[in-house]
Amino acid sequence: MNLKILGESLNIALRSIRSHLLRTVLTILIIAFGIMALISILTAIESIKSTLSNSFTQMGSNTFTISDVQMRGSIGGGRGNRIEYERINWYQASEFKKRYRFPATVSIYTFAANTATLRYKTEKTNPNISVLGVDENYMITGGQDVETGRNFSPQEIQRGRNITIIGSEIKDILFPTGENPIDKQIAIGPMRFTVIGVLESKGSSFGFSGDKSCLVPVTTIRRYFNQVPVAFRINVMPSDPKQLEIAIGEATGLFRTIRKLSVGQVSNFDIRKSDNLVNILLENIRYVTLAATLIGLITLMGASIGLMNIMLVSVSERTREIGVRKAMGATNIAIRNQFLVESIVIGQLGGFLGIFLGVLFGNIISLILNTSFVIPWGWIFLGFFITFVVGVLSGLLPAMRAAKLDPIESLRHE
């Protein structure tokens, strides 16, 4: 088909669309709804994936954690998805840090509380603050940065001083007037701590926020919780990311020795790379993506049937026009291309509207979920391709039927 014939077919298609505007608009809306359903859900999923990747790999892809809890299969809260081993005590954690000779940064930390209330003068937080006991290396291995103030020193960790680094959201709650929190004393539960730093804001995802956490020396937690069994965790960040697997092997062997495990015994601890959890979550999201794609394709199938029906009606209504064009020398191919182009144009208009609405609503969902804004270019191009295929398949049968009409019978058609 040369450009002149294509331009003529496109012009005829647009005139036909204008002359049957209501019917065409309804068809475009049906196609747009199918594409919108597909693109909006997939846009939201891409946004969730992006946020998950950013949130759970802030520690870096070259970091792993030794803990007494193993997550298996999927994230669903079921008992079969979680294995708890004998807790890692302070002696085991500190022995590992002292004896691990591989070039790496090692930190020890523990979760002291998840429902703490912090107070400063008349201001106080809700009882939803996480308190972590950490050492001087946690800021490095945990992917945290200090916005104001400073990190803990090794001497302060060793002495177990009553000092803390608070999250940015805690600072906004306790110091609403913009007062500098550094060197101010705040209460964490019944104990008083001096603020030495404020963490850089990291945002929140799915209800979890590092901005509502406060860090205190891990030895201080040991002093206040010495009557309660505390489980410690170990973060390890090798100096060379390429040596991650070797570092994990070295850590496994050393910690098995510290836990006094014989050669035949199974390791009673878990070593998890920083991206393991996000991989588990992304594996679950894959099924949501599949369901969304299926729903969108079913809707598009209905839209393609509607478009085919409109094109068949159009052929029937324009039988006389087809006869006139054939009598004036139009070939079967020209007639076929005329209706095929019309079907493709309707499909592309529906696709363009659907993609625009899909990206818009997908990012509105992302905004509600507090995840990042994304433009899924891959899905956008796929959407245009799908609507092109829908236009071709829906218009092929009516176009072929129009091309096969006998010109004499067409001219006699009423």
CA atoms within 13 A on the CB side of 14: 5
Nearest to 86 by CA among 268, 222, 271, 235: 268
Length reported for the chain: 414
Torsion angle of alpha carbons 5, 8, 14, 17, nearest 10°? -80
Neighbouring-strand partners of residue 17: none
Q: Are residues 242 and 303 in the same domain?
A: no
Cβ pair 160, 220 in contact under 8 A: yes
Nearest Cα neighbor of 35 from 383, 295, 394, 395 is: 383
For 59-97, b/e burial (b = at least 16 CB within 10 A) is bbebbbbbbbbbeeeeeeeeeeeeeebeebebebbbebe
The number of domains in the chain is: 2
Map tokens 């969108």 to a residue.
Answer: 296
> Which secondary-structure segment (H or E) carries 43?
helix 21-56
Please give the Cα distance from 193 to 116 (Å, whole number).
14
Q: Quick one: pLDDT at residue 278?
A: 62
The residue out of 213, 238, 273 marking a domain boundary is 273
Note whether 203 and 115 are same-domain residues. Answer: yes
At residue 75, the pLDDT reads 43
pTM of the model: 0.59
Residue closest to 399 by CA, chosen among 310, 304, 312:
312
pLDDT at res. 76: 45
- How far apart CA 177 and CA 101 sit, in angstroms, is 48
3-state secondary structure of 163: strand
Q: Verify that 23 and 124 share a domain, yes or no.
A: no
Q: Which of 208, 240, 273 is the last residue of a domain?
A: 273
Please say whether the dihedral angle defined by the alpha carbons of residues 202, 207, 208 and 210, taken in this order, is positive or negative. Answer: positive
For residue 20, which phi and psi values (nearest 5 degrees)? -125, 55
* Same domain as 319, residue 193: no
Q: pLDDT tens per residue, the chain (414 residues)?
A: 566 666 777 777 777 777 777 878 888 888 888 788 778 877 877 777 776 666 555 545 578 999 987 655 444 444 445 677 889 999 999 999 999 999 999 999 999 888 899 999 999 999 989 999 999 999 988 888 899 999 999 999 999 999 999 999 999 999 999 899 999 999 998 889 999 999 988 765 444 456 889 999 999 988 876 556 788 999 999 998 888 889 999 999 999 999 999 988 899 999 888 766 566 666 667 777 777 778 777 877 877 787 788 778 777 777 787 788 777 777 788 788 778 888 888 888 888 998 898 888 888 877 877 777 778 788 788 888 888 888 888 888 888 888 887 777 666 655
Amino acid 83: pLDDT: 73
Whether 369 and 255 map to the same domain: the answer is no
* 122 and 13 inside one domain: no
Domain range for residue 34?
A: 3-55+281-412
**Torsion sign (Cα): 52, 53, 57, 62:** positive
Same domain, 134 and 268: yes
- What's residue 281's pLDDT? 65
Q: What is the pLDDT of residue 205?
A: 47
**CB neighbour class for 105 (10 Å; exposed up to 12, middle 13-18, buried from 19):** middle
Going by C-beta distance under 8 Å and a sequence separation of 6 or more, which residues neighbour residue 287?
Answer: none
H/E stretch holding 357 reads helix 332-368
Cα 277 from Cα 57, distance rounded (Å)? 9
> Which of 214, 247, 273 is the last residue before a domain boundary?
273
Does residue 293 sit in the same domain as residue 269? no
Q: What pLDDT score was predicted for residue 257?
A: 95
> Both 239 and 329 in a single domain?
no
Domain shared by 205 and 146, yes or no: yes
Answer yes or no: do 307 and 289 share one domain.
yes
Q: Are residues 224 and 145 in the same domain?
A: yes
